[in-house]
Structure 1
Amino acid sequence: MSEFRIAIIVGILQGFFEWLPISSEGNIALYLTAVEGLTPTAATDFALFLHAGTAVSATIYYRGELATLAGRLPQWRATRDTELTFLAVATVASAIVGLAAYATIEELFSALTGGAFIVLIGVLLVATGLFQRVANARLGTRTDPTLADALLVGVLQGIAILPGISRSGSTVSALLLRGYDPEASFRLSFLLSIPAALGAGVLTLTDGVPELSLAAGAVATGVAAVVGYLTIDGLLRIVSQIAFWAVCLGLGGLAVVGGLVTIL
């Protein structure tokens, strides 16, 4: 029953953490490495796999938005729809960068000890927090995305496959720094999250469901989907009210200290 216990725990964590700019992948990988004793590679794959569950949550939550976007597709070229172009270009860019990053981390993480992996996640969490802190000081009014915005956000979303770099934190912060208002930044970021999350989940299946039987994998994604759907509305409402950059700094600092203690 151990794998089902782990599946339920990480499914719940993913359902909560996905909507907060604190790197759900990084924090779940920390848990799996420090508490459950998984290797860095297995912990990362497991954390990425869970995104398939919350991708379902986001799809259901944004179903109205997605239906509207789908209805605009036939006129995309004629109307030069900048939002559809942004989403398409950013998704392609994130897929290319994400695949390259995944191939790199698979090789890199296989050579890391658990302690070194925890330190790395901590450092990336601190970097995520500092990036958000800088971006939060910028309040813009832009709402129409450009091709340059799409490429920038797509690259950052691809890099966010690294555990400790928050996908939403990075993409929202980039849009804020480009002068977008917070509402438009969050909307574009979470619409982008759906294909990215589905892609991350499918990517890990190329090597099989990490550390799980098929049944336990189904439980993990199912729990993540249900908890994610139940929490998304409330958590998205409080994101702008809490200094999550400070939370990232705190979690990252603790991870660095804990990892160094393990190494020493």
Structure 2
Amino acid sequence: MHTVLSTDLSVAILAGIVQGIVEWLPVSSQGNLALVLTLVGTDPAVALQLALFLQLGTTLSAATYYRDEIRTALAAVPGWRPRAAYEGDNAIASYVVVACLLTGVVGIPLYLFAVDLAGQLTGGVFIAVIGVLLIATGVLQFASESVSMGGRTTPTLRDSVLVGAVQGVAILPGISRSGVTTSAFLFRSYEPPAAFRLSFLLSIPASLGAAVLTLLSAGGLPGISLSAAAVALSVSAVVGYLTIDVLMRVVDRVPFWAVCFGLGGLAIVGGGVVAVVV
């Protein structure tokens, strides 16, 4: 299906701005970007694929922002040993590898299911489904706020498996990747700053993998021209880098479970209206 995004660069710019801002907020960047694309006329299945693909831009932002942590993890790779996999600097490298494997095991089947399902849904129903999943994310974040904050900062094998599997579930639009992975760390008694740092470090390889999966499943760029893709990725990278530091501070002050509830409720109502009108 020929989409608005493939011919209208203004929509590509809008998509890049939305992705660059909401990627850092635990309110599902994929779900909200898919909502925006669906509202401007994009087929739901294509909107889902584009929302995953356009995370490449903010992946570049995150890699730049966390370049010191990435450099430390890479420097530990030559000296990595199985017996000391979760000791010292080895812990971050082991965490990323194990968590990414679990993300793929859980996320790939869910992605194929979600794309197939989205292709069968009308725009209104698709929007409502995203709303339900946004509310589910809000419930999880609300529950994690009631957990007594611990002092843990270094991931273990169990943490890697748990967080990797949870991130795989976040392939579904409306499930916030940062929201559910951070909540998982909080449930495991991590300090909030460490939980956010580990969550975003894992987002870099996960987003790269999601983009590759999208390109393979769609047989190329999903309903988007090369020029529009370049614009959207560039805008999301620039906006993402400019906003990550500010929005990371906002996360400590705003109850994002309430934001998820509000956005989810609006999506359910709006999706129902669209479905009835259509």
Tell me which interval the TM-score lies in, with the shorter structure as reference length: over 0.9
Which of 66, 74, 80 aligns to 1:76? It is: 80
User: What is the CA–CA distance in structure 1 between the aligned matches of 2:154 and 2:244, rounded to whole Å?
Assistant: 25
Provide the alpha-carbon RMSD of the alignment: 1.3
Q: Give yes or no for contact 1:52–1:202 (8 Å, CA) kept in 2.
A: no
Distance between the aligned counterparts of 1:37 and 1:215, measured in 2? 19
Residues 212-260 of structure 1 deviation map (CA, whole Å, 9 limit, x = unaligned): 1111111111111111111111111111111111000000001011111
Larger CA deviation: 156-165 vs 141-150: 141-150
TM norm structure 2:
0.91
The structure 2 residue matched to 1:252, chosen from 256, 261, 264, is: 264
Cα deviation per residue 1:147-203 (whole Å; 9 max; x = unaligned)?
Answer: 121111111111111110000000000110111111111111010010011112222
Query: Which of residues 49, 53, 58 in structure 1 aligns to 2:53?
Result: 49
CA deviations 1:30-80 (Å, max 9, x no partner) are 11112x111110110111111011111111111111111111111221643
User: Among residues 141, 144, 147, which one is paired with 2:157 in the alignment?
Assistant: 147
Q: Residues 26 and 176 of structure 2 are in contact (CA less than 8 Å); yes or no, is this contact kept in structure 1?
A: yes
Which stretch of structure 1 is more off in the superposition, 1-10 or 87-96? 1-10
Q: Is the 8 A contact 1:3 1:212 kept in 2?
A: no
CA contact (8 A) 2:167 2:177 kept: yes
Match of 1:230 in 2: 242
What's the counterpart of residue 29 of structure 1?
A: 34
**2:23 equivalent in structure 1:** 18
Stretches of structure 2 that go unaligned for 5 or more consecutive residues are 1-5
- Find the counterpart in structure 1 of residue 3 from structure 2: none
Quick one: distance in 2 between partners of 1:90 and 1:240?
Answer: 25
Give the TM-score normalised by structure 1. Answer: 0.96
Q: 1-side partners of 2:240 and 2:183: how far apart?
A: 22
5+ residue gaps, structure 1: none
1:163 pairs with 165, 173, 193, which one?
A: 173
Between the aligned partners of 1:7 and 1:200, the Cα distance in structure 2 is: 19
Q: Give, in whole Å, the separation in 2 of the partners of 1:143 and 1:245.
A: 23
Q: Does 1:121 pair with 2:157? A: no
- Aligned position for 1:261: 273
1:130 counterpart residue number: 139
Q: Does 1:88 align with 2:97?
A: yes
Q: Distance in 1 between matches of 2:251 and 2:74?
A: 28
Which of these residues, 66, 78, 84, is aligned with residue 70 of structure 2? 66
Given residue 267 of structure 2, which amino acid in structure 1 is its aligned partner? A
On the 8 A contact 2:35/2:127 being kept in 1, the answer is: yes
Aligned-partner Cα distance in 2 for 1:144–1:226: 30
What residue identity is the alignment partner of 2:54?
L
Instruction: Report % sequence identity.
Output: 54
> For 1:250 and 1:257, how far apart are their aligned partners in 2?
11
Letter of the aligned partner of 1:110 in structure 2?
G
Alignment of 1:183 onto 2:187: no
Q: How many residues align?
A: 263
Between structures 1 and 2, the one with greater helix share? 1
| 1:38 aligned counterpart, secondary structure | coil
